Amino acid sequence: MSESVSLTINGNKYSAAKGAYVLQVAREHGIGIPTLCDHEAIEPYGACRLCIVEVTRGTRTKIVTSCLYPVEEGLVVQTDSPRVIKNRKMLLNLLLARCSGNPVIKELAKEYGIEQPVFGEEYWEKHNCIVCGLCVRACEQVVGVSAISLVNRGISREPKPPFLEKAQSCIGCGSCYYVCPTGAVKLEDKNGVRHIYNWKVSFKLKKCGKCGIQWAPEAQLAFIRKKLDLPAEFFDVCPNCR
Ligand code: FES
């Protein structure tokens, strides 16, 4: 049996498995903490910083990212102290400056009462990507392909295919698109072809032998077939018709 510790979150006592992260424990108890770069199927990375909380151990208090901070015996956590809210608002203001037109960021900022961004129009940029790396991590950790990576440094950092050319090893599964919190990955299924514009790739979609819908990229199905050693005809019909 795993060892457990007791901690306090927002004045209430909880017990949790030693080594669990504060964010995970808070969520298990229905305590909301905003996040953008967190996904349950992917290792935490601490990129967006929105999940910050205030933790106290003994007489020391500090701000930490809850997605990466392990619980420990006697830890006291505040998820929405004035200091946390002030810092979170600044983070949202920075995100607003980078992604000034993005509806997800604008909505989050609104929830935190930010009507007027701190940084004026002269600082506004039109990115949708917050460089959280979820697309890269999903491709590597969940799909096992690593078709894309984060390139460059500082404000130029961004997810890209190798050498900024077509992502040769992409299988078109769209995991990057599904996990992206801000809709920065552009995917479209059109006329039997899937396009993922960010990685400059297009894939023919497999047509179901029974109902005729075009349901998944052939490259993705070939990848799964090979990995699981499935017979060639395994994906000839879609999951609904099987
Ligand atoms: S969710 Fe923790 S830093 Fe993004």
Q: Which residues contact 93 (CB under 8 A, 6 or more apart)?
A: 109, 114, 117, 118, 119
Determine the topology of domain 134-228 in CATH.
Alpha-Beta Plaits (3.30.70)
Is the CATH number 3.90.226.10 carried by domain 4-80?
A: no
Q: What is the pLDDT of residue 155?
A: 87
Name residues of the chain where pLDDT drops below 50.
Answer: none
Nearest partner of 170 among 188, 151, 195, 191, judged by Cα: 195
Q: Give the position of tokens 């599904």.
A: 178
Atom of ligand 1 nearest to the CA of 49: 3
CA–centroid distance for 121 within its chain: 27
E strands in the chain:
4-9, 12-17, 52-57, 60-65, 76-78, 149-151, 158-160, 187-190, 193-196, 201-207, 214-217
Q: What is the pLDDT of residue 68?
A: 97
Q: What is the pLDDT of residue 116?
A: 86
Q: What is the pLDDT of residue 226?
A: 96
User: Which pTM does this prediction carry?
Assistant: 0.92
The Å distance, Cα 142 to ligand 1 centre, comes to 18
Q: What is the pLDDT of residue 168?
A: 96
Domain ranges of the chain: 4-80, 84-123, 134-228
Q: What is the pLDDT of residue 1?
A: 61
Determine the residue of 42, 45, 87, 180 to mutate for testing ligand 1's pocket, defined as the one with the most ligand atoms within 8 A of the Cβ atom: 45
In whole angstroms, give the CA distance from residue 55 to residue 153: 30
Atom of ligand 1 nearest to the CA of 65: 2
Q: What is the pLDDT of residue 2?
A: 76
Determine the residue of 27, 36, 94, 134 to mutate for testing ligand 1's pocket, defined as the one with the most ligand atoms within 8 A of the Cβ atom: 36
Matching fold, domains 4-80 and 134-228 = no
Q: What is the pLDDT of residue 240?
A: 94
